[in-house]
Amino acid sequence: MQWILLFLEWLVDWARGTYWNLFGRRSRLCRGTISPPGPLVLDQNKKNRYLRKEFDQFEVPKNLDVIVIGSGIGGLTAAAVLAKLRKKVLVLEQDKQAGGLCKTFTENGFEFDYGFHYLGQLHENGFLKVALDLITDGQVHFAEQGSHVDTVVIGTGAQYKKYTIYNGKTQMEAHLKKQFPNDTKAVEELFKIMKICSEKIHLLCMLKMFPLWFARFILWSGIADSISPIFKYSRTSTTDVVKSLTSNQDLLTVFSQIFYGVPPKKSSCMIDALFLHHSKRGVYYPKGGASEIPYHIVKVVEKNGGKVLVNAPVSSILVEGKQNACGVTVKTGGKYVEIRAPVTISSAGMFTTFKKLLPPEIQANPEAQNYMNTLKPGKGFFQVFAGFNATMEELGISSTNMRLYKSNNMDEMMDEYFDLDKDVAPDHIPMMYVSFPSAKDPTSCIRFPGQSRMVIHTMVNPKWFEQWNNINETERGEDYEKYKMRFANHLFDWVCVHFPKLKEKLAVLHAVTRVNMPGLEATCGSMPMAEHNLERYQPLNIAMTRCNTPVKNLYLTGQDVFSAGYSGALHGGLLCASTVLDRCLYVDLLLQQKKLKGKVVKKLESSDY
């Protein structure tokens, strides 16, 4: 068996080398576009020219090649890559601003990000950096954050325990070992797993690109498992893996990253390993806020002949013949406008795409049912945005994120919480994530002098909000306001235990949960975002959740393709563009990375003399 594998590996390397010699040097995708960042644009009006270009029938380019539904990082990545490869691309966004979860908004004079805390793995010539530079032409200014990434607090009252996570190639592991002196072996094993998962993740991506029968065969025959243990870590729960190494519940709590909505017994160990690994080489925040990322991707799309239009809700995907997508209908000013293109890409999430945008006959189709069954709708997020009239020094806050848990048994704690009655739930929130975006952005004190901002993130059961189904956040009435503020105040009081100065300087406390809201679900990560559960990461399900859908010429991009997170959504976009073009763009990117690494080596060598 092994020799077949070696042969295959050789074949791939050979093909790569040949490809490079024949086409690589001329690869249009990566050519000459990565320039040093230009001056930072702080004028919002200038940015809005790109982020808020209104839909109008006359703005739609002629002879479109591709329509992309949704302008989150997943939609924009696919759009930018395809536009760079000379496809005529149109992105349609339902909201009044492009960016999806990468958007920023202003509440009472305070600027907040919808769904962004930090990005990792942006060290020079890391794969993610190369990919992000490709779609932004390297124009986003990232501020590297301090090495103290996270503080994990377990327990409440005087009894709480505190662990800290520092980044660093070796420091991260060493620092955790110091805090878990009885479990140094377990920590070592976990770091080995992190390394395996980060180095072999492409094997799982490849499952989505191989023909399905071939993917099935290598999984069924055990060939996959003999190539790498990543397949095992992908299908095993975090609780099972950590429990096989130690009985220390605190270590399990520190290792798992439950803020995507599932307890460790229901999450894939690979995902938790990748999340922790993500911050190992440092974490970054875009100067100017999260919307800097979509701003620069939109610029790249437009520079390459594409368009990104907002206020353009797609109400259906046009299907002709048996199952052939041929464009979309946009609802504008009470009218429906048809726009046609040979390829349609959706970043609206699998559920919105299949349950709302496609005709019911297609949903009922067994093939479509199988496809949809690979994912399950997720829990709802609850967010609190707080603004303060004080500087970070006055408040005693920093760029470090904080995770707070009422106990170290998250498996029990989360099950109990989600089972609670609606009435008592707000008083028993067992966990939250806290971050201070103003402390991460060095332009914050210039743009908003004397202000600070905090974001709290937790999960809720959409059932608690059932009575407000299909009603807008702003139109849900007084009962809703009162109910949601019970969650918000509870969370705020809990934070104040650790940052007592926050209370007296509070100027704005704004809470949002967009669960059960029509149209906005995909934007705000509520129900229709797929759950990050263990079933989803069974290798066969990974292979089946691919960019090509059962509908011909309709492709899926974004976080539902591989995983949530900017990096996950961006990979969704790369996989999607590769599928559309039937060409593995990862090869171009890996070659580009190799080339850039070579340049660094040359620079180092020449500075030696």
Contacts with ligand FAD, residue ranges (CB under 6 A): 69-75, 92-95, 100-102, 115-119, 313-314, 347-348, 352, 381, 383, 457, 522-523, 525, 558-559, 564-569
Q: Which residues contact 360 (CB under 8 A, 6 or more apart)?
A: none
Q: Which of 396, 477, 518, 598 binds ligand NAG (CB under 6 A)?
A: 518
What is d(CA 121, CA 201) in angstroms, rounded to the nearest whole number? 14
Residue 307 contacts residue 53 (beta carbons within 8 Å):
yes
Q: Which residues in 372-391 contact ligand NAG (CB under 6 A)?
A: 389
Among 367, 472, 482, 501, binds ligand NAG (CB under 6 A): 472
**Angle at CA 417, nearest 5°, toward 414 and 419?**
110
Residue with tokens 């327990």: 155
Q: Decide: helix, strand or coil at residue 529.
A: coil
Question: SS3 for 237?
Answer: strand
Q: Which of the choices ligand FAD, ligand NAG, none does residue 579 contact, using the CB cut-off of 5 to 8 A by kind?
A: none
Tokens of 581: 């073009």
d(CA 491, CA 402): 13
Task: Identify which of residues 73 and 591 has a Cβ nearer to ligand FAD in the complex.
Answer: 73
State the minimum distance, in angstroms, from the CB of residue 248 to ligand NAG. 7
* Tokens standing for residue 196: 């395996």
Among 143, 507, 540, 596, which residue sits at the site for ligand NAG (rule: CB under 6 A)?
A: 507
Among ligand NAG, ligand FAD, none, partner that 256 touches (CB below 5 to 8 angstroms by kind):
none
- Span of 16-24, 121-129, 348-356, 469-477 interacting with ligand NAG by CB under 6 A: 469-477
Number of Cβ within 10 Å of residue 294's Cβ equals 29
Sort residue 569 into left (φ over 0), alpha (ψ -120 to 50) or beta.
alpha
Q: Quick one: tokens of 141?
A: 């200014």
> Which of ligand FAD, ligand NAG, none sits in contact with 153, Cβ below 5 to 8 A by type?
none
Beta strand 148-154 with 401-405 is parallel
Minimal distance, residue 430 CB to ligand FAD, in Å: 17
Residue 449 binds ligand NAG (CB under 6 A) = no
* Partner that binds at residue 564, options ligand FAD, ligand NAG, none, CB closer than 5 to 8 Å by kind: ligand FAD
In the complex with ligand FAD, the residue whose CB is nearer, 102 or 397, is 102
558 binds, among ligand NAG, ligand FAD, none (CB under 5 to 8 A by kind): ligand FAD
Range 173-192, binding ligand NAG (CB under 6 A): 181-182
Distance CA 399, CA 233 (A): 31
Q: Rounded to the nearest 10 degrees, what angle do helices 566-581 and 73-84 cross at?
A: 40
Query: What, of ligand NAG, ligand FAD, none, does residue 288 touch, CB below 5 to 8 Å by kind?
Result: none
Q: Which ranges of 304-353 does DSSP label H, i.e. alpha helix?
A: 350-351
Nearer CB in complex with ligand FAD: 434/569: 569
Alpha-carbon distance 198 to 106, whole Å?
36
Q: Which is nearer to ligand FAD, 187 or 512 (CB)?
A: 512
Residues that bind ligand NAG (CB under 6 A): 181-182, 389, 470, 472, 475, 507, 518
